[in-house]
Structure 1
Amino acid sequence: MPNIKSAIKRVRTNETKNAQNSHVKSAMRSSIKKAESALTNKDDNANDTVKVAIQQVEKASSKGLIHKNTAARKKSRLMKQQA
Structure 2
Amino acid sequence: MQEELDAKCVCVCKQQEEEKRRQKIEIWESMQQGKSYKGAAEEASSSTTVPKPKTDKKPLRGADYNPLTGEGGSSCTWRPGRRGPSSGG
| Structure having the higher Rg | 2
TM-score, normalization: structure 1? 0.44
Higher relative contact order (CA 8 A, sep 6+): 1
Q: TM-score, normalised by structure 2?
A: 0.42
